[in-house]
Amino acid sequence: IREKPGSNFHFFSPDILTTWKNTFNMEFSLRKALKGNQFELHYQPQKDIKSGNIVGCEALLRWKHPDKGYIPPDRFIPLAEKNGMMIELGEWVLREACRQNKKWHSTGTYRGLIGVNLSARQLHQPELAEKIKNILEETGLSAEYLELEITESAAISQNNEVLNSLKQLRELGVHVSIDDFGTGYSSLKYLSIFPISKLKIDKLFMKQEVQNNQAIVKSIITMSHSMEMKVIAEGVETEEQLVFLEKENCDEVQGYYFYKPLPLQEASELFLQAQ
Ligand code: C2E
Ligand code: CA
Ligand code: CA
Ligand code: CA
């Protein structure tokens, strides 16, 4: 049984994953799950520190297994990356997130952006920009309300393909943020070449008792602003963390202190109330 504090995962036993590892079963199960509508998105609100308004939300994938309950993404995404299923699954996430955000916008429930995580495989598809453009057209969501979250390690590659895709996406109006910032190869050169709107400070750095974390957070905020990027802190769990981030002029916050990732119904209700 896996029980993460503050999360919605229950009664998950890792045995199925052990059996999957060396077989085709996992791909089969993922395909079946995709066909059988076993995937859902949960939405974690992001707040503007100054106004307190909800300005964005991150879509987080959950597998609602008929027998096993919610399976967290860390348990199946790495495997889906390996067997190639992640492209299909990632497309489902993108379409579902854009469709839902368009629905919220048209019903006046919510006016913010939706953040979607992109895997390394997705990012390296030559036709990525084209696919996203089609999804935006199909769902009717305006590009400025979509933010793609990429990690430093996935973005930084030898070839120029990723850079070209990101430039095309930026031209469409889509935003790109760097996820888990500070944990990968942070090269200032890449940050200035890539069309990045926002840095997401990794939750690791929220631990104020760890030496230098406050100094690291401070410098990430200063650097983001001097490069005309916004900055959001992830994994905010306490009031002290919030007070510190406010003092240091961090733009946005996301974390259990405010909201957990919420299932659709709860997210919609919250957004309506928060209007
Ligand atoms: P991530 O993109 O860094 O997402 C943030 C994770 O931190 C989420 O875990 C979220 O539930 C958790 N979190 C949020 N607030 C707090 C907090 O205050 N404290 C702590 N300790 N954790 C917090 P989750 O949902 O289990 O997702 C784990 C990872 O799985 C994500 O990390 C992301 O890398 C990946 N993932 C999730 N959905 C997708 C998806 O649709 N596509 C891809 N490619 N990856 C995804
Ligand atoms: Ca993310
Ligand atoms: Ca993150
Ligand atoms: Ca991560």
Nearest ligand to the CA atom of 39: 1
Distance between Cα 74 and ligand 4 center (Å): 9
Nearest ligand to the CA atom of 87: 1
Indicate if ligand 1 lies below 6 Å from the C-beta of 235: yes
Indicate if ligand 1 lies below 6 Å from the C-beta of 119: yes
Supply the residue whose CA is at minimum distance from atom 35 of ligand 1: 73
The model carries a pTM of 0.92
Residue 160 has pLDDT above 90, yes or no: no
Nearest ligand to the CA atom of 241: 1
Indicate if ligand 1 lies below 6 Å from the C-beta of 115: no
Atom of ligand 1 nearest to the CA of 61: 38
Supply the residue whose CA is at minimum distance from atom 14 of ligand 1: 255
Cα–Cα dist 15/90, whole Å: 25
Distance of CA 25 to the CA centre of its chain: 27
Residue 23 has pLDDT above 90, yes or no: no
Backbone torsions φ then ψ of 122, nearest 5 degrees? -60, -45
pLDDT for 168-209, tens place per residue?
999 999 999 999 999 887 677 788 889 999 999 999 999 999
> Do 98 and 136 contact (CB within 8 A), yes or no?
yes
For residue 233, which of 248, 185, 151 has the smallest C-alpha distance?
A: 248
Supply the residue whose CA is at minimum distance from atom 9 of ligand 1: 60
The ipTM value here is 0.98
> Do 89 and 67 contact (CB within 8 A), yes or no?
no
**What does the pLDDT read at residue 6?**
45
Binned at pLDDT 50, 70 and 90, residue 108 comes out as: very high
Cα–Cα dist 48/57, whole Å: 11
